[in-house]
């Protein structure tokens, strides 16, 4: 099997010759060749320049040979196309005028991916041509709740107090924002599929901060809108929630083909709770990759053993960290290559 066949087979729980592997944030600052490109251009310019975005997407594939290549971009790019003013600072993303009222929601527009973000489709087309059929091409978008968290907070947050206050005080305003984001992401996902994405990952990174009843009302219905559009496009949908242990049964209701699991729950325990209809992705703690190649191999094998051989994509439980040594990233990607599936 080649990488694309292996990855797509695992997404639909079909048999594989070995477990497929890739890493969230695999294109990034732990790679010297990525840092070299970043010395020439700022992050947003990199996202918007198809030749450079395709180049940094391919860097980890050339070095390590993952089974899937994720397009280089950022979940906040479409939010900028909706009218928000976005900047990346040393402390992460910043939104100049946070969205905290119905009037501010009304001002956001639903962008047309073809005319407002044409560089994303172009990057995907460049990547499909470069990867041929060897490596699966994965597109992605943010889920409405996580995007709303950045828009309402004005950037990252530890407590999410501002969006949660809006949620409990003025739920209709937040629902209006989430509905607009869901329409935007559904169209954006569709455009990525048209441009050659063979699977789509939906990042609801911060939805794990919600109480389960709030997740059910403010995250789940909007995840569903985006995931329905992805499945209608004929490619598998992968749903990632950081801190998913409290909401796994709700994630199942989205009918995402693949559930991406963080390290706070074992894949065997997750499997028992979600049943056999879904593939699981994950779930090595990214800080393991700050230690030694042997510890990385051990953790990767533990994850593969816990997941079993059918319907598992080896990945991290969240993005790879910038101080990760190259030899640890390499040990992670090589771990399944030395281990043909048995049972
Ligand atoms: O996975 C990949 O290799 C594809 C590229 C990718 C990036 N961001 C590149 C990036 C993907 C899939 C994302 C998604 C993303 N962006 C998420 C969801 C996934 C997650 O990690 O939870 C979120 C929440 C964002 C928003 C965002 N972008 C943050 C919070 C930051 C700063 C964090 C940090 O580590 O500094 C970014 C910037 C960013 N996005 C970088 C990269 C490589 C670093 C920017 C740089 O080069 O300086």
Query: For atom 30 of ligand 1, which residue has the closest CA?
Result: 92
Residue 15 lies in a domain: yes
pLDDT in tens, 29-46: 999 999 999 999 999 999
Residue 28 lies in a domain: yes
The residue written with tokens 């439980």 in the block is: 317
Cβ of residue 70 lying under 6 Å from some atom of ligand 1: yes
Three-state DSSP class for residue 139:
strand
Per the model's pLDDT, the better-predicted residue between 289 and 90 turns out to be 289
The residue written with tokens 């907070």 in the block is: 153
Residue 208 lies in a domain: yes
Q: What is the DSSP string of 53-107?
A: HHHHHHHHHHHH--SEEEPP--TTHHHHHTT--EEEETTEEEESS---SHHHHHH
222 contacts: CB under 8 Å, gap ≥ 6: 143, 144, 145, 178, 179, 181, 182
CB 258 within 8 A of CB 283: no
Query: Residue 174 CA to chain centroid, in angstroms?
Result: 23
Three-state DSSP class for residue 8:
helix
CB 321 within 8 A of CB 286: yes
CB 315 within 8 A of CB 283: yes
Q: What mean pLDDT is predicted for residues 148-156?
A: 98
Indicate the burial class of 330 (C-beta count within 10 angstroms; 0-12, 13-18, 19 or more). middle
Would you state the pLDDT for residue 340? 62
Task: Name the residue of 242, 319, 321, 329 whose CB sits within 8 Å of the most ligand 1 atoms, as the mutation to test its pocket.
Answer: 319
CB 162 within 8 A of CB 153: yes
Predicted confidence band at 88 (pLDDT cuts at 50, 70, 90)?
very high
Cβ of residue 27 lying under 6 Å from some atom of ligand 1: yes
Question: Containing domain of residue 309, as a range?
Answer: 3-338
Task: Name the residue of 75, 142, 192 whose CB sits within 8 Å of the most ligand 1 atoms, as the mutation to test its pocket.
Answer: 75
CATH of the domain at 144: 3.20.20.210
- Buried/exposed code over 306-328 (b: 16+ C-beta within 10 A; e: otherwise): bbbbbbbbbbbbbbbeeebeeeb
The residue written with tokens 């219905």 in the block is: 221
Angle, helices 220-232/144-153, rounded to nearest 10 degrees: 130
Residue 21 lies in a domain: yes
Catalytic residue at 29?
A: yes
Which member of 150, 204, 257, 271 is catalytic? 150
pLDDT at position 159 over 50: yes
Which member of 25, 100, 229, 297 is catalytic? 25
Cβ of residue 24 lying under 6 Å from some atom of ligand 1: yes
Residue 343 lies in a domain: no
The pTM of this model reads: 0.97
* pLDDT cut 90: percent of the chain above it: 97
Predicted confidence band at 342 (pLDDT cuts at 50, 70, 90)?
low
221 contacts: CB under 8 Å, gap ≥ 6: none
Which member of 63, 74, 194, 285 is catalytic? 74
pLDDT at position 330 over 70: yes
pLDDT at position 339 over 80: no
pLDDT in tens, 178-223: 999 999 999 999 999 999 999 999 999 999 999 999 999 999 999 9
Catalytic residue at 62?
A: no
pLDDT at position 17 over 90: yes
CA of 242, closest atom in ligand 1: 22
CB 243 within 8 A of CB 264: yes
pLDDT in tens, 296-318: 999 999 999 999 989 999 999 99
Cβ of residue 319 lying under 6 Å from some atom of ligand 1: yes
Predicted confidence band at 341 (pLDDT cuts at 50, 70, 90)?
low
Query: For atom 8 of ligand 1, which residue has the closest CA?
Result: 74
Catalytic residue at 74?
A: yes
Query: For atom 45 of ligand 1, which residue has the closest CA?
Result: 43
Would you state the pLDDT for residue 187? 98
Indicate the burial class of 195 (C-beta count within 10 angstroms; 0-12, 13-18, 19 or more). buried
Cα angle 305, 306, 312; round to 5: 85
Number of independent structural domains in the chain: 1
Query: For atom 24 of ligand 1, which residue has the closest CA?
Result: 205
pLDDT in tens, 231-244: 999 999 999 999 99
Give the CA radius of gyration of the chain: 19
pLDDT at position 77 over 90: yes
Residue 298 lies in a domain: yes
Query: For atom 42 of ligand 1, which residue has the closest CA?
Result: 28
Three-state DSSP class for residue 140:
strand
Predicted confidence band at 343 (pLDDT cuts at 50, 70, 90)?
very low
How close is the Cα of 163 to the center of ligand 1, in Å? 21
């Amino acid at each position: 099997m080649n990488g694309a066949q292996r990855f797509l087979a695992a997404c639909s729980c079909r048999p594989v010759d070995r477990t497929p592997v890739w890493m969230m944030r695999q294109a990034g600052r732990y790679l010297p060749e990525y840092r070299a490109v970043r010395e020439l251009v700022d992050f947003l310019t990199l996202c918007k320049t198809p030749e450079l975005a395709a180049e940094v997407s391919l860097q980890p594939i050339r070095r390590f040979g993952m089974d899937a290549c994720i397009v280089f971009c950022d979940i906040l790019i479409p939010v900028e196309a909706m009218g928000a003013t976005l900047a990346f600072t040393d402390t992460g993303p910043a939104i100049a005028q946070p969205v905290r009222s119905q009037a501010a929601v009304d001002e956001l527009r639903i962008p047309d991916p073809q005319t407002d973000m044409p560089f994303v489709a172009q990057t995907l087309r460049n990547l499909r041509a470069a990867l041929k059929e060897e490596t699966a091409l994965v597109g992605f978008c943010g889920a409405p709740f996580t995007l709303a968290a950045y828009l309402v907070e004005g950037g990252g947050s530890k407590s999410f107090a501002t969006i949660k206050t809006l949620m409990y005080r003025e739920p209709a305003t937040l629902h209006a924002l989430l509905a607009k984001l869901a329409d935007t992401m559904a169209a954006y996902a569709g455009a990525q599929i048209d441009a050659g994405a063979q699977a789509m990952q939906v990042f609801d990174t911060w939805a794990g901060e919600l109480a389960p009843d709030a997740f059910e009302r403010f995250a789940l219905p909007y995840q569903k809108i985006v995931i329905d559009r992805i499945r209608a496009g004929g490619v598998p949908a992968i749903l990632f929630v950081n801190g998913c242990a409290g909401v796994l049964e709700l994630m199942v209701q989205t009918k995402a083909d693949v559930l991406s699991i963080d390290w706070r729950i074992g894949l065997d325990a997750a499997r028992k709770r979600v049943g056999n209809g879904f593939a699981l992705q994950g779930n090595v703690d990214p800080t393991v990759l700050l230690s030694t190649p042997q510890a990385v191999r051990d953790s990767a094998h533990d994850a593969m053993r816990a997941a079993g051989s059918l319907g598992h994509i080896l990945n991290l439980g969240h993005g790879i960290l910038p101080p990760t040594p190259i030899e640890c990233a390499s040990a992670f990607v090589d771990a399944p290559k030395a281990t043909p599936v048995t049972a």
